[in-house]
Amino acid sequence: MRIDRLELRLLKLPLVHFFETSFGRIDEKHFILVRVDGEGASGYGECVAELDPYYSSETNDTVWHIIADFVAPRVLGTEFGHPRDVFPALKAIRGHNMAKAAVEMAAWDLFARLRGEPLARVLGGARDRIASGVSVGIQPTIDDLLLKVERELAAGYRRIKIKIKPGWDVHPVEALRARFGPIPLMVDANAAYTIDDADHLAQLDAFGLMMIEQPLDYDDVADHATLQRRLKTPICLDESIKTVGIAREAIAAGACRIINIKPGRIGGFGESIRLHDLCASHGIPVWHGGMLESGIGRAANIHLSTLPNFSLPGDVAASRRYFDPDLIEPPIEVAADGTIPVPTGPGLGVTICEDRVDAATLKRTSLDASLKAGVR
**Closer residue to ligand SMG in complex, CB, 118/290:** 290
- Under 8 Å between Cβ of 205 and 214: no
CA torsion sign for 356, 358, 361, 362 is negative
Beta bridge partners of 46: 33
* Residues comprising the chain, all counted: 376
Give me the least distance between CB of 239 and Mg ion, in Å please.
Answer: 7
**Closer residue to Mg ion in complex, CB, 173/342:** 173
291 binds, among ligand SMG, Mg ion, none (CB under 5 to 8 A by kind): ligand SMG
Q: Which stretch binds ligand SMG (CB under 6 A): 71-79, 151-159, 201-209, 286-294?
A: 286-294
The binder of Mg ion chosen from 188, 271, 293, 326 (CB under 5 A): 188
String marking each residue 69-108 x if it binds ligand SMG according to CB under 6 A? ----------------------------------------
**Closer residue to ligand SMG in complex, CB, 22/228:** 22
CA–CA separation, 74 and 90 (whole Å):
7
The binder of Mg ion chosen from 238, 271, 293, 326 (CB under 5 A): 238
12, 262, 363, 372: the catalytic one is 262
Give me the least distance between CB of 262 and Mg ion, in Å please.
Answer: 8
Q: Which stretch binds ligand SMG (CB under 6 A): 64-72, 74-82, 201-209, 287-295?
A: 287-295
The answer to whether 29 is a known catalytic residue is no
Give me the least distance between CB of 143 and ligand SMG, in Å please.
Answer: 21
Interface with ligand SMG (CB under 6 A): 21, 55, 135, 188, 190, 238, 289-292, 315, 317
Which residues are tagged catalytic?
Answer: 163, 262
